[in-house]
Structure 1
Amino acid sequence: MPVTHARPTSLAPWVAFVEACRAGSLSAVAEALGYTQSAVSRQIATLERDLGARLLAREPRGVRPTPAGAAVLPHARALVAEADRAARAAAAPAPAPHVSVGAVQSAAMALVPGALRRVPDPPSWSMLTDSTDRLIDRVAGGELDLAVVTDAPPGLPTRRDVLLRHLFADPMSVVVPDDHRLARRRRVSIADLADEYWIEDNAGSEALLHQLAARYDLTLRVDRSVGALMIKVALVAAGHGVALVPRSVGPALRGDVRLLALRDAPRRGVYVATRPGRDDLSRLVTALRARH
């Protein structure tokens, strides 16, 4: 017997659901969308009833997607993104080209802004940052036209509806304070920094650091308590430790830190993700490859 579901007639519940997954809080969604919290709750309850599944788990500190909600989320994002594009198209029947770009944090610091500057007659663009797996999901769902991602641990997810093209291999380097004892060296070994306190912002970078240390039979003191690359660099500048970063972020680093090359540096591959057939993005892909 076929299973049927009612189709929600309003976009508002979908928007509320996507925003709730992003913010993790119904009160934050209410503030962002200009609704009362009870109205947001009713909208999501309507969507859950129409789809026949519970989408959000209510917890003391907020909300999170249930397994069903996680399965629905990529489709919800795509629906909201397409509705936004439709609204822009209606407002401007002949709109200027617009590219929605995603990037991991390190690529958003220097690589992507530089590439967008080099594109001849550049289109209007918007950019968001996220993890590699989430960016690829957003490309597949149509929320993003293009994303710059890496194969740092746990690696690249593979899916048939997303085309991945290798851009370059990005060696990892060390950031130290400008007054560090090694700051005037051009190249250092991980053994030179064995007694340092290492600051990390993500599991992929931390895994590369431990892999390098293992080659030298070293155990490093590592704290992964910050969630943003620029915060990690700020802590280094203030003298709280040193950090592993990709060499490609060098042009965007602040003046009170030094970027040092590493002997036997681990490398991560940098890739561009698009949906197949997006030949209209070739100029931007070329600019990303010509990064210097």
Structure 2
Amino acid sequence: MDLDTVRTFVAAADAGRFQEAAAELAITQQAVSKRIAALERDLGVRLFTRTPRGAGLTIDGQAFLPHARDLLRVAERAVASVRTGSRPLRVDVLTSRSAQSGLMRGFHRAHPDIELDVMMLFDVETAVAALRSGAIDASFRAVAVPGRPLPDDIESVRVLDEPLQLLTGPAHALAGARAVTVAQLTGHRIWMPGIVPGTEWAAYYEDLVAAFGLTIEATGPNFGSDALLDTIADTPALATFMGGQTRLVWPAGHGLRRIPVTDPTPVYPHSLLWHRDNPHPALAILRAHLAATATGHDDAGTWTPDWVVPR
């Protein structure tokens, strides 16, 4: 059903005269008559009775009018949902407790007037497809995973290098250390059940293992961070890696330790991705905010995989 004819019908019903409806719509009276006639043909009923004094709704016209108004309201909402600047900025983060989520909380505090939709997509291919389709405006990812170059229409900028920390229970052999070197981790079992083969974070940890001869186990189901913390607290032989800016809360009785890793410090590279033709005005504000708050990259004494884009 053509929305212009529905809009013309509502205008004529409200005005009671085709001439006044034509003036409101900035079209000719003849065009109003043609649109109403076309709508009546489509519906198979008469919507107006014409008299010298104007146009009155028939019984069918009265029945159709509230539905016509609903159609126009739905159309307006549909347009508003995608109109630049009138919909929330849609940003993909990995998890709600991640450093990426923390970056978006900082942005929201700095710009509380900007509406946000924060979502969590699983892998980089899904995120890139969503950026290209317009389903999201930005995504935080590690760039660029081997064998997965970004399409030419996807831009990226590195916004945060997050140091890894070792998380242990109170009885672990390294629990009392103020800091541990990467070399000291050799031979210790680091358990990370959230690593999924084929993801960018799996590629990161594969290179970390290869570079320093570490032992990272991804066995067993991933029941989430709370279950991971319970296991680490109760198992002296296990430790895990956590991002230094990952937000975690655990019971006081767990006695968990977060220990800096040094010599070198492995850092996880977070980049912001977006489509180069995305016109959402809040996207430029987000990029400027992240540029102003970004820390240094590739600092002395840190490590990232060779495939990480150095910018």
TM-score, structure 2 normalization: 0.53
Query: What's the counterpart of residue 258 of structure 1?
Result: 257
For the 8 Å contact 1:150–1:156, the answer to whether it is kept is: no
Q: Larger Cα Rg: Structure 1 or Structure 2?
A: 2
CA shift in 2, pair 1:232/1:107, >3 Å: farther
Q: Classify the secondary structure of the residue corresponding to 1:170.
A: strand
Query: What's the counterpart of residue 116 of structure 2?
Result: 125
Does residue 211 (structure 1) correspond to residue 197 (structure 2)? The answer is no
Spell out the pairing of 1:85-164 with structure 2 (5 A cutoff). Answer: 87-89=77-79, 96-105=86-95, 106-118=98-110, 120-130=111-121, 131-151=123-143, 153-154=145-146, 157-164=149-156
One-letter identity of the residue aligned with 1:195: H
| 1:140-160 Cα deviation digits (max 9, x unpaired) | 110001111113755753102
For the 8 Å contact 1:107–1:148, the answer to whether it is kept is: no
CA shift in 2, pair 1:134/1:181, >3 Å: same
- Structure 2: where are the runs of 5+ without partners? 1-73, 296-311
One-letter identity of the residue aligned with 2:188: D
CA shift in 2, pair 1:207/1:198, >3 Å: farther
Determine the C-alpha separation between the residues in 2 that align with 1:134 and 1:206. 16
Spell out the pairing of 1:1-292 with structure 2 (5 A cutoff). Answer: 87-89=77-79, 96-105=86-95, 106-118=98-110, 120-130=111-121, 131-151=123-143, 153-154=145-146, 157-177=149-169, 180-193=172-185, 194-202=187-195, 203=197, 204-218=200-214, 220=215, 222-227=217-222, 230-231=225-226, 233-240=228-235, 241-249=238-246, 252-255=247-250, 256=254, 257-263=256-262, 264-277=264-277, 278=279, 280=281, 281-289=283-291, 290=293
One-letter identity of the residue aligned with 1:124: E
For the 8 Å contact 1:171–1:266, the answer to whether it is kept is: yes
Determine the C-alpha separation between the residues in 1 that align with 2:210 and 2:143. 20
Determine the C-alpha separation between the residues in 1 that align with 2:82 and 2:145. 43
Q: Classify the secondary structure of the residue corresponding to 1:283.
A: helix
How far has the Cα of 1:237 moved from its partner? 4.7
Q: Classify the secondary structure of the residue corresponding to 1:114.
A: helix
One-letter identity of the residue aligned with 1:101: V
Determine the C-alpha separation between the residues in 2 that align with 1:287 and 1:173. 26
CA shift in 2, pair 1:117/1:183, >3 Å: farther
Determine the C-alpha separation between the residues in 1 that align with 2:290 and 2:159. 7
Q: Classify the secondary structure of the residue corresponding to 1:183.
A: coil
How far has the Cα of 1:188 moved from its partner? 0.9
TM-score, structure 1 normalization: 0.56
For the 8 Å contact 1:178–1:237, the answer to whether it is kept is: no
How far has the Cα of 1:213 moved from its partner? 4.0
Report the more deviating stretch, 199-208 or 167-176: 199-208
Q: Classify the secondary structure of the residue corresponding to 1:242.
A: strand
Q: Classify the secondary structure of the residue corresponding to 2:140.
A: strand
* Cα-Cα RMSD: 3.7
Determine the C-alpha separation between the residues in 2 that align with 1:157 and 1:144. 19
Q: Classify the secondary structure of the residue corresponding to 1:100.
A: strand
CA shift in 2, pair 1:144/1:167, >3 Å: same
Determine the C-alpha separation between the residues in 2 that align with 1:165 and 1:158. 12
One-letter identity of the residue aligned with 2:131: V
| 1:52-87 Cα deviation digits (max 9, x unpaired) | xxxxxxxxxxxxxxxxxxxxxxxxxxxxxxxx9974
- Structure 1: where are the runs of 5+ without partners? 1-83
